[in-house]
Amino acid sequence: MGRLDGKVALITGAGQGLGRVAAELFAAEGAKVVVAEFSEQSGRETVAAIEAAGGTAAFVPVDVSKADQVEAMVQFAVDTYGGLHVLYNNAGIMPPDDGATLDTPESTWDVVMEVNLKGVWLCCKYGIPAMVASGGGSIINVSSLVAVMGSAVAQIAYTASKGGVLAMSREMAVEHAKQGVRINALCPGPIMTDLMAELLSDDAKRARRLVHVPIGRFGQAQEIANAALFLASDESSLMTGQQLVVDGGISAAYVTPE
């Protein structure tokens, strides 16, 4: 028996990185997965990987900052699989010119807020009614470690957007708890994605980051997917309005021991 048997799971940003790993895991655990992705090619690659492993998945294109596309995405999930029980709001961006407060262009601030914050709100706005009609379910909003403590690297728009996701998740959770919809925020620390590997290809840069991680290594995408699976499943049935921080102990440390 899979931990998500009989559930329909919609995952945004599921064409690559953390979203693809989560989509494959959710499908392996029995969910029918709706792969929502801006890039059609990468989204269909995720679907193909799930189907090759014996799972069930369908692709829907979406720009999460556009209300009409988000509404159509949710309707696609309901029309294709008959309901919605898990909504994993994973899609997000971090442009290279998102930096210090005084240096970040206004246009960069605006696009980050459109995708990272407004996008999550839109997904919940249209996803919650479908979830209520399906008998309830679980929403996982991807926030970040930087929502609970300042970033070591300047990324003001990203940090502000993820703080907004965390605060918004709490309020939504209280508002919809009695309708059987649980809403939690997942706050990853530094994860060794392809982008992270590229940024930390220099040994000195890697060492400067690792000294702040008590567990002594960066996280893996599978570890974040495992945390999301817990929040998506009935195992977390008493959790709502919470932040699940998966960061290797960074937020617990004042000074990292040698």
pLDDT at 255: 58
Q: How far is CA 138 from CA 39, 173, 216, 220, in A?
A: 25, 10, 32, 23
pLDDT digits (tens, 9 = 90+) for 179-193: 999 999 999 999 987
* 32 class by beta-carbon count within 10 Å (0-12 exposed, 13-18 middle, 19+ buried): buried
CATH 3.10.20.30 for domain 8-189+220-245, yes or no, is: no
Residues 6+ apart with CB under 8 A from 102: none
* Catalytic one of 81, 88, 126, 158: 158
pLDDT at 203: 75
1: Cα separation from own chain's centroid = 25
Strands 243-246, 181-188: parallel, antiparallel or unpaired by DSSP? parallel
pLDDT at 207: 75
* 80 class by beta-carbon count within 10 Å (0-12 exposed, 13-18 middle, 19+ buried): middle
| Both tokens assigned to 59 | 């692709």
pLDDT at 50: 98
Q: pTM value?
A: 0.95
Residues 6+ apart with CB under 8 A from 95: 108, 111, 112, 157
| Both tokens assigned to 128 | 């919650």
pLDDT at 198: 67
CA dist 247 and 151 (Å) reads 13
Helix (H) or strand (E) holding 206: helix 203-210
CB under 8 A, 24+ apart: contacts of 118-121: 118/65, 119/12, 119/64, 119/65, 119/70, 119/89, 119/91, 119/92, 120/64, 120/89, 120/165, 120/168, 121/168
158 is annotated as an active-site residue: yes
Residues 6+ apart with CB under 8 A from 131: 84, 85, 87, 137, 139, 181
pLDDT at 81: 98
In the block, residue with structure tokens 């990987």: 49
pLDDT at 192: 87
Q: How far is CA 13 from CA 64, 92, 131, in A?
A: 9, 7, 20
SS3 112: helix
Listed by start position, the domains of the chain span 8-189+220-245
pLDDT at 209: 76
* 98 class by beta-carbon count within 10 Å (0-12 exposed, 13-18 middle, 19+ buried): buried
Is there a contact between 29 and 226 (Cβ–Cβ < 8 Å)?
no
Segments in the chain below pLDDT 70: 195, 198-200, 205, 255-258
pLDDT at 195: 63
Which of the 8 DSSP states describes residue 138?
E
